[in-house]
Amino acid sequence: MTSTNYDPRVLKALHPVPGAPDNWKRFFTFNTDAKVIGIQYIALALFFLLVGGLLAMVMRGELITPPADLVDPTVYNGLYTMHGTVMLFLFLFPILNGFNNLLIPTMIGAPDMAFPKVNAAAFWLVPVFGVVLMASFFVPGGPASSGWWSYPPVSIQNPLGHFINGQFLWILAVALSGVSSIMGAINFVTTIIRMRAPGMGFFRMPVFVWTAWAAQTLQLVGLPALTGGAIMLLFDLSFGTSFFRPEGGGDPVLYQHFFWFYSHPAVYVMVLPVFGIFSELITVYSRKPLFGYKFVALASFVITFLGLIVWVHHMFYSGTPQWMRNIFIVTTMLIAVPTGVKVFAWLGTLWGGKIRLTTPMLFVLGGLVNFILGGITGIMLGTAPVDIHVGNTYFVVAHFHYVIFNTIGFGIFAGIYHWFPKFTGRMYYEGLGKVHFLLTFIGATLNWLPLHWAGLYGMPRRVASYDPEFAIWNVIASIGAFMVGVAAIPFILNIVSSWARGAKAPPNPWNAIGLEWLLPSPPPAENFEDDVPTVISGPYGYGLGQPLVEDEEYYVRRALEA
Amino acid sequence: MTSTAPKPSGGLPVRLLVVVLVAVVLDALASLQIARASLGWLPVPASTAAPYVDGLFQVEVGIGAFIFLGCTGFILWAVIFNRAEKYDESDGLPIEGNPKLEITWTLIPFVLVMVLAYQAIHVSETLAALGPKEKYDLESGSSPTTVERPDVRQSYGPIQVLARQWNWEFVYPNGVRSSELHLPIDQRANFQLSSEDVIHGFYVPAFRLKQDIIPGSVISYSITPTREGRYRLRDSHFSGAYFSQNQTDVVVQSADAFQAWLDQAARSPLVPGLSQATGLYADRLAKGDKGWATVKPAPPPMVNDPGTPDAPHEA
């Protein structure tokens, strides 16, 4: 097979956007190069990580003592709502789309995404709704303060009665975020299905591509439910309808179904690509093939399917009937199986490997240990009787931060370090990276491990003040949170100074297998241009002695000479 | 391409088997200890539901600890013994998988989680039998009068539980109104939960029970307390500005003490009940109404017994 299986016309464009600048200024333009867009996503997301983190620092400052003394309770409620919203919609989704943009085309040998202009438009929606959301801090009455769930009726109370209020802007921002995500999802799925290099069958795709595909499929299926729910909420809030308003005959619990039908799968949208990152990095830094590659790849879609039928476990105490609880206990338990397959496969890959504890590998191993803990507490929350005690307490907060920060966040940091040389053309500083890892791991453990006990003992989540018996767990948690905050300093220092003056990166600094490592660092605008390699073996041939592509020496030499 | 690495087939070496066996035994012993300790992580159990929830929790902690310690131990083992030497650029054993092993580690977790699911459903149905629960939609006109099922256990109620932004009010069958929830021990207390504004959560950690209160419906609900004492009742579902202050106490008493309290309360005049939000909101107004928007707190309910909010609670 020598011909490419995508439209050859896409190769004709010599420059992503003719006349676009080729220096740093391109990051501030409507550039259609997926690699530029990827970096735009990641940089903007990291900025919002700082914003969301700053909100968290104020929250932990408030919670270090039992009474509500640092800020007014209304301010605390706004802070925790915006913390969750910023972290999910402006940090996690955008940064993972950044990875998708950088990695999907380069890993499958495509010159760009299927729809470059849609891709750029999807990115530029992010700063737009970011501004909308940030503007809500300055409207009368302050930002949305009903939690990132925005459950009615509390979310539609609108105390001041203004048409433009924090909740209104929040719904607008979330709806725009949904539009952006759908534009991204269509693009990623099409690119993966239609634009793979010759010879790259589905079972020769790297696991990251599998997980991105599974995750983006979830976006396409789930997002319409959230968007529909959000629009009805907007109508209830602003135009006096009664979809969810009990006094008009509406049902507030209906909203919860709309919300969780998307928002539980949303967790898998975020964690699946991180499973992909784990699979890519554990193989490189153990120098072994991925144990049971096909099982790991297929497990991604089993997670997608099961992820769509577990949402009611968020509503065990909302007045759901017994039969419904029973069904969702079973589906929730089942999702442990494909997840377990992945975890065991990573352990099997480590066994007998040649493990190298670089910064990215440290973040992967730390993230893996955290994920096992977060997965186990997830199982506990899936069993209704235990959930009825610990649901809506700090046990849940601890559980999902173990997944969202201690696993997904760690995977993101690992990915940033691992692919930093590839896409910036510079090496990062290993020492600063290790300081970043140590501070983050110790801080995150101090922050979220003790909060499990606060929750078991009955401390509700979302409180601005609490009974004194919970003080000890909260003091430790706040100290840990401040450590995580301090850990941002070596990270930023590393990224900024490495990019500005780090050592020049070779095409394949980690001696890794993968199409992206056959490209120069950084790759040219159209990746392999009109010389796309033909893939002849699976993605993780460490120790197997087979070349990945035909004429591998030619591509290696070409990347070195570039 | 032939590989120089040793083939994994041909029987596992005895030494490896011994190491694995020792590791599994140590892991099991440690997990057992953790499971034993785990009951101490929960508040005192004070209802008939609590032992069932705690039992399931303990089993899950034991299994969870076994898996966590096993996996983490394995990772540590690999990191210590499978580290590459500084200048070693070679590859590890090129093992691509082992279908038998992969099927095993798919099936074992499958069986394990199905057993857990069965156990969870069983406990869930036991809890439902201990404290039946029905939801009645106010719009459709169905009424919660048929709640009391024939049952050997003595029952009390129904007690109306009214949740507001941000106070609790309990109305007894004889008309007594209270800011604290008094309950007779070992009798099934029947409740009718309703909310006047937003969703609230009826949560008593010592009872291990939690129920969202949905505006627009009445939920009939029951709990059997089994231990005398003063416990915290917390609003568990975010309900707006002063959510964290929307807490009161549950007082579980002997049947006689409960009857004495009820009689005493019936003779007491109505006074403003417990409502921490009222005071905090007044402070906020006095300081110039700074902060972000909030609805006005509902006025304190007029009750016969405003309770003793400063009394120490056990859990």
For residue A501, the distance in angstroms to the closest alpha carbon of chain B comes to 26
For residue A31, the distance in angstroms to the closest alpha carbon of chain B comes to 39
pLDDT tens sequence across B213-228: 999 999 999 999 999 9
> Does the structure's ipTM exceed the value 0.95?
no
Instruction: Say yes or no for a CB contact (<8 Å) between B1 and A546.
Output: yes
pLDDT attached to residue B3: 44
pLDDT attached to residue A297: 96
Q: CB contact, 8 Å: B59 with chain A?
A: no
Instruction: Say yes or no for a CB contact (<8 Å) between A337 and B109.
Output: yes
For residue B91, the distance in angstroms to the closest alpha carbon of chain A comes to 5
Instruction: Say yes or no for a CB contact (<8 Å) between A460 and B236.
Output: yes
Q: A315: which residues sit within 8 A by CB, 6+ positions away?
A: A253, A256, A257, A260
Name all contacts of A54-62 with Cβ < 8 Å and 24+ positions apart.
Answer: A55/A79, A55/A80, A55/A82, A55/A83, A55/A86, A56/A83, A56/A481, A56/A485, A57/A481, A57/A482, A57/A485, A59/A83, A60/A447, A60/A477, A60/A478, A60/A481, A60/A482, A61/A478, A62/A464
The size of the A-B interface in CB pairs under 8 A is 320
Residue A134 pLDDT greater than 50, yes or no: yes
pLDDT attached to residue B141: 56
For chain B positions 156-175, those within 8 Å of chain A (CB to CB) are none
| Lookup: tokens for A394 | 């700090």
Answer yes or no: are the C-beta atoms of A262 and A150 closer than 8 Å: no
pLDDT tens sequence across A62-85: 999 999 999 999 999 999 999 999
Is the preceding peptide bond at B166 cis, omega within 30 degrees of 0? yes
Query: Residue A153: which of B43, B82, B197 has the nearest Cβ?
Result: B197
Q: Contacts of residue B209 in chain A, CB cutoff 8 Å?
A: 388-389
Residue A260 pLDDT greater than 70, yes or no: yes
pLDDT tens sequence across A281-324: 999 999 999 999 999 999 999 999 999 999 999 999 988 889 99
For residue A72, the distance in angstroms to the closest alpha carbon of chain B comes to 6
Q: CB contact, 8 Å: B285 with chain A?
A: no
Query: Residue A322: which of B1, B83, B125 has the nearest Cβ?
Result: B125
Distance from the Cα of residue B54 to its chain's centroid: 10
Residue B4 pLDDT greater than 80, yes or no: no
Residue A23 pLDDT greater than 80, yes or no: no
Q: Whole-model pTM?
A: 0.94
Instruction: Say yes or no for a CB contact (<8 Å) between B110 and A287.
Output: no
pLDDT tens sequence across A6-15: 555 554 545 5
**Per-chain mean pLDDT for chain B:** 90
For residue A541, the distance in angstroms to the closest alpha carbon of chain B comes to 8
Q: CB contact, 8 Å: B300 with chain A?
A: no
| Lookup: tokens for B242 | 């002063």
The CA distance from A120 to A184, in Å, is 9
Chain B: residue whose CA lies nearest to A377: B64
Phi, psi (rounded to 5 degrees) for B12: -75, 140
